[in-house]
A and B are shown apart, each in its own frame.
Chain A
Amino acid sequence: MSNRTLKVLKILSHLACAAPLVWLLWLAIENHLGPDPTHTVTFFTGKGTLRLLVLSLAVTPVRRLSPRLSWLIRFRRMLGLWAFAYGCLHLLTYIALYAGFSVDAMLDDLSRRRFIFAGMASWALMVPLALTSTAWSIRKLGGKAWNRLHRLAYLSAIAGVVHYWWGVKQGVHSPFAITLTLAVLLIVRPLWGFFHAMGKAQSPSDAMKRTL
């Protein structure tokens, strides 16, 4: 993949991530957010966060499918940061439209409502990742430590999915699709490691070919 194509793809991806927010803003200005605008904005930003987070987690496993997909890694940070942006908007929706900027109300919610706690945890886990998303941070921390730190993305996604399940009423299965996707991504990683190790032990030449 040429640098030029990558650049174009990156711009398109940024646009794809920003477009829903522009759409949401337009709906808000035009008063087209439906009968329950608070609810609309809450689910729009919340689902957006989870989808982007899971998408960013899918980059590594998908990339491993073929060496020709290695360029995908150049999109991971972007997806992660967009997930964080959606997460911040989701949190802001809660702070402004549910808690009414009252710290007491938020502390009360945090101590009493587990789904709020899980949501806050999911957001908080993204903060160190967003802060260390620069090339400078990777150099400063060293690749290994940085990688380890950024595994928090998995925890954040798990907390996010738990937040979703705890937030909806019993009997509602809308979080199922995203949960399944995340579960596959979580299973694929150790599975790949396992088969990779097996392959290496059995026939080093095959494993070589695969990595090449």
Chain B
Amino acid sequence: TKLSTVSSPLSGRGLTETAYNDITHYNNFYEFGTDKGDPSRNAWRLKTRPWTVSVEGLVKTKKTFDIDSLMKLRPLEDRIYRFRCVEAWSMVIPWVGYSLSEFIQQCDPLPSAKYVQFLSLADPKQMPGLGESSIQWPYSEGLRMDEAMHPLTLFTFGLYGETLPNQDGAPVRIVVPWKYGFKSAKSIVKVRFLDKQPRTTWNDLAPDEYGFYSNVNPNVDHPRWSQKTERVIGASLFHQRQSTLMFNGYEDQVAGLYKGMDLRRNY
């Protein structure tokens, strides 16, 4: 469905957008299968209406938001962001949404809340991939409060001016453009405010490979993939490589969040 959107100063300029077909057919969404093509084949089973997002943990009162009211909470903005997967490939995606901070304000978190946890849907009836891999569902991701409140962190409902295709995390997902893609939880049903760092799915699976922060960083090597360069999705065979930028190109905006931290240790 077409969405009415407004422009945003936080949207990237001069970036070549990845083709819609690639954004919607090359996905990591293990709830629908581990192959990159599985989500586009299987995600039609996902029912995105009715859909609610419940808010719990360190908040004044527990709340449940209906997806349609969330989409009307603030004007939807076009935000063109770089997207970098930890597997060393990248896209440029024109997302639609508003800053997560706007939503968090509606949640009334207590001052003691230091972290936000996002839990994705895990329904075997709709998600045939749940049994395929040895992951503890539901998918869980989290951010430090200041990261979640950063204006770049996007509460996302669409791409290319339309509602999110199911395989891209419909009906609502997070996008944190300076972090590896797996930090950006999809198909969110629960948001929890905590005083401790939450458990996160990939960190549970392989803590030496996937840190809690997982900021895009060409200088911190991944044990599996070099992170110095990336393969641009949609480019031709011999023109796919490009250098990876610190914080995925958002260094000016977000480096301050990590001042004084050893990024090698807090990878």
Name A's B-contacting residues (CB within 8 A).
28, 31, 33-39, 41, 97, 100, 105, 108-109, 112-113, 115, 167, 169-174
The one of B25, B89, B224 in contact with A39, judged by C-beta atoms closer than 8 angstroms, is B89
Q: In B122-172, which residues have CB < 8 Å from any A CB?
A: 132-135
Q: Which of B3-38 contact A (CB under 8 A)?
A: 22, 25-26, 30, 34-36
Complex Cα spacing A33 to B133, Å: 26
Do the beta carbons of B223 and A113 come within 8 Å of each other?
A: yes
Bound state CA distance, A115 and B231, in angstroms? 19
Segment among B51-59, B185-193, B232-240 that sits at the interface with chain A: B232-240
Q: Can you list 25 A-B pairs, Cβ within 8 angstroms, ordered by A?
A: A31-B236, A35-B26, A35-B233, A36-B26, A36-B36, A36-B89, A36-B231, A37-B236, A37-B237, A37-B240, A39-B231, A97-B241, A109-B226, A112-B221, A112-B223, A113-B223, A115-B224, A169-B224, A170-B134, A170-B209, A171-B205, A172-B34, A173-B134, A174-B34, A174-B35
Least Cβ distance of A32 to chain B in Å?
Answer: 11
A-facing residues in B179-213 (Cβ within 8 Å): 205-206, 209
Complex: A37 Cα to B6 Cα, angstroms: 35
Q: Find chain B residues with CB under 8 A from A174 CB.
A: 34-35
14 additional contacts, CB 8 Å, given A37-B236, A115-B224? A31-B236, A36-B89, A36-B240, A37-B240, A97-B237, A97-B238, A108-B226, A112-B221, A112-B223, A113-B224, A170-B206, A171-B34, A171-B133, A173-B132
CB–CB A167/B224 < 8 A: yes
A-B contact count (CB 8 A): 61
Question: How many chain-B residues does the 8 Å CB contact rule pick out?
Answer: 29
Chain B residues engaging chain A, CB cutoff 8 angstroms: 22, 25-26, 30, 34-36, 87, 89, 132-135, 205-206, 209, 221, 223-224, 226, 231, 233-238, 240-241
Q: What is the minimal beta-carbon distance from A209 to any residue of chain B, in angstroms?
A: 48
How far does the alpha carbon of A172 sit from the alpha carbon of B22 in the complex, in Å? Answer: 22
Q: Which residues of A contact B234 (CB under 8 A)?
A: 35
Find chain A residues with CB under 8 A from B135 CB. Answer: 171
Residues of B within 8 A of A171 (CB): 30, 34, 133-135, 205
| Chain A residue contacts of B205, Cβ below 8 A | 170-171
Q: Considering the complex of A and B, which 8 residue pairs feature the smallest CB-CB distances, nearest first?
A: A171-B133, A35-B26, A35-B22, A37-B237, A170-B205, A172-B34, A35-B233, A171-B135
Residue of B nearest to A34 (CB): B26
In the complex, residue of chain A having the shortest beta-carbon distance to the beta carbon of B89: A36
In the complex, what distance in Å separates the CA atom of A108 from the CA atom of B35?
A: 29
* B204 CB to nearest A CB, Å: 10
Cα distance A113–B209 in the bound complex, in angstroms: 12
Residues of A contacting B89 with CB < 8 Å?
36, 39
Q: How far is the CB of A25 from chain B (nearest CB, A)?
A: 11
The docked-state distance in angstroms from the alpha carbon of A37 to that of B233 is: 8
Which of B30, B34, B87, B221 has most A Cβ within 10 Å?
B34
Contacts of A38 in B (CB 8 A): 231, 237, 240
Q: How far is the CB of A44 from chain B (nearest CB, A)?
A: 12
A174 to B200, CA, bound (A): 24
Closest partner residue, chain B, to A109 (CB atom): B226
